[in-house]
Amino acid sequence: MRALILSIQVLAPWILTIALSSLVHSMLSALEGPLGNAIRLVSAGIFFLFGFPIISGILSIPFRSGVKSGLLPRTISNNKYFFRRLHAANWVAVYYFAPIYQMVLALPALFAAVFRLFGYKGSFKITVFPDTWLRDLPLLKISDGVYMANKSTIGTNLCLTNGKILVDGIELGEGAMVGHLAALGPGVRLGKKSQVGVNCGIGVRTKLAENVDIGLYGFVHHGVSIGANTVVGANSFIGLRAKIGNDLVLPPGTNIPGGSMILTKEDLQKHLREEKVALASLRVAAVNELATGIKGSPSTLEHESM
């Protein structure tokens, strides 16, 4: 039964919009001749273009209560997840209808109307692209001046292999920037003017204070905290639940193990020295292992003469 209801919810925006567009066409039946027919067709088409996202948003309203933070079983037999799916059915109808969604983003009044109907409460003074991944609009807190690049992921939900889904809101402070192909996990908080570079990954419930800069191809694990005005160089890794202090500059390629507390410049310098020694030791061990392997192997000439 629930699968049938979900199917109806998927089809409902199409059925209602087409029916109402046909009604508009019929109401203008007094217009005759080629010009009259053209006006009727154009009027019905315009109604469909604007009506589809509006009707989809209206149909989602009764199920907005299902869009909540938490850990849910990924099955429609669960009431909360079922309501979530019903709300999402209408959002994806708009999001994946590329010409309609591009029009929604391009027209400020329509943008505001549609996003509000789907439960969005944030600012509209933002930059977002048709292929920016957005879901769970009621859980987004996006401030003025935020830039979300094309193909970036504002990932409010995460499906897990145990059959559950983790859902949590995302907050982007004023002027924050999410780069091309960057991905934010559920519960991420970016402070004012913080920047996540190209192709970065930011883990679940990680918090970046204001003016934090994560260089391209960086990865910041789950539950990490990074203080204000800190710069994380390109290709760096920050491990699970690490804590990084304010006003630090982590050079490119820095590796911070999980659980580390790098709160001061002295902490950072100590870690970098230890990392340098550890890497040098690993290089020596690798070279020795390679040399031992070469010494113990038959030469190419011996292979050829056999």
pLDDT value at position 297?
60
**What gap in Å lies between CA 130 and CA 149, rounded to an integer?**
10
Name the token pair of 104. 């929604």
Name the token pair of 177. 């920037």
**What gap in Å lies between CA 100 and CA 124, rounded to an integer?**
18
Asked whether the predicted pLDDT for residue 304 surpasses 50, the reply is no
- Residues 221-251 have pLDDT tens digits of 999 999 999 999 999 999 999 999 999 999 9
- Averaged pLDDT, 153-166: 96
Asked whether the predicted pLDDT for residue 39 surpasses 60, the reply is yes
Closest CA to 134 of 148, 117, 147: 148
Closest CA to 92 of 144, 172, 157: 157
pLDDT band at 29 (very low <50, low <70, confident <90, very high): confident
Asked whether the predicted pLDDT for residue 301 surpasses 60, the reply is no
Whole-model pTM: value is 0.88
Asked whether the predicted pLDDT for residue 306 surpasses 50, the reply is no
Strand order in the sheet with 195-196: 127-128, 147-148, 177-178, 195-196, 213-214, 231-232, 249-250
- Averaged pLDDT, 104-108: 97
Asked whether the predicted pLDDT for residue 295 surpasses 80, the reply is no
Alpha-carbon distances, residue 93 vs 56, 120, 196 (angstroms): 8, 17, 29
